[in-house]
Copies of this chain bind each other. A is one copy, B any other.
């Protein structure tokens, strides 16, 4: 397919462009009977809303979600949940420059190469607004997971070279700064760094980290649909993500086996691990420990500096990109990572329900 769907049993399908009528998603396979209202979803969307700090675009969007189907008398019915966010601020402006020129670091050239032409208004389908649909869908998944005792928390781990200090880690601080960093000192340093980049008409990247707690062991499928592989795909499918790692990730490649293996022990009759280099996944399945993974975001490609490029008709030219762009997308991407992880984990939990004969028999009362 053309790749606008994700998941097997909990399956989401997104649509929409930044300057069209809106963006939306269909969630198929959400269990029936979940209490759900627009506010449940809105609070996640608000976490990525523009215009909340000096580090985000001033595009004026309320990003209000509407539930178009699948909910009746406050509960999901089991039928597809259609969610839509209308675009409001579709400023009429002159796109002729962008229409004819390929912006470096953007998908302009590749869209043209694939489809022969493109919706050049603001990036079209490859705009960051596409992630609204992911967040809306993942918010629903997160609500299901919460009922199962599973919670997800993503945050900014680093902006450019400024990283949080594990010794100062405090998740409660995440909401206290514009950059969603769980470390006040790092947040201040990162803000200074960003201001410098902005003055230089430049942009920055960073790393988002996500933790999932409460997962039962054994979730994920052993070969291609490993929990780590599906999380990786979910995260790498977010625009601007260039890297993914779980547990110790690339650092694990430098460790010895004796350092990297997590020993098992017993506590309260439960199997536990004495460390968590694995990041909560062994053999592609959850091992009962906290799941922890990271996503690397490249710097925002839209910068006001002059860059060399070419036109659609093959002439060399230069471009300066002015307008409403975040100098860094990481803080707004935090909730995208968290909700994509929610959708991934819920899908694998539902797929897993058929994995054991005894449990299938119990389920059907046989």
Contact = CB atoms under 8 A, between A and B. Distances in A.
Contact of A249 (B223, B242, B288): B242
Given A4-B224, A242-B279, A299 B255 contact: yes
Interface hub of A110, A219, A248, A288 (most chain B Cβ within 10 A): A110
Given A4-B224, A223-B14, A116 B261 contact: no
A172 interface: no
Interface string A192-213: 0000010010111111000000
Nearest to A103: B261
B228 A236 contact: yes
Contacts of A282: 105-107, 109-110
Interface string A58-85: 0000000010111010011111111010
B303 A32 contact: no
Interface size class of A (residues with CB under 8 A): 35 or more
B261 A310 contact: no
A111 to B, nearest CB: 7
A258 B201 CA distance: 9
Interface in A108-125: 109-119, 121, 124-125
Interface in A232-248: 232-234, 236-237, 239, 241-248
Interface in A282-311: 282-288, 296-303, 305, 307-310
Nearest to A78: B115
A23 to B, nearest CB: 8
Given A31-B354, A114-B355, A224 B233 contact: yes
Nearest to A76: B357
A242 B102 CA distance: 35
B26 A222 contact: no
Nearest to A32: B115
B109 A148 contact: no
A316 B265 contact: yes
B361 A207 contact: no
23 contacts: A2-B9, A2-B79, A3-B28, A4-B221, A15-B79, A31-B357, A68-B84, A77-B115, A77-B124, A79-B222, A107-B284, A109-B217, A109-B264, A113-B216, A126-B222, A200-B256, A202-B258, A229-B237, A260-B299, A349-B360, A349-B364, A350-B360, A353-B354
Nearest to A120: B72
B9 A82 contact: no
B5 A11 contact: yes
Contacts of A245: 242-245, 250, 296
A8 B309 CA distance: 35
A291 B76 CA distance: 29
A299 B266 contact: no
B107 A222 contact: yes
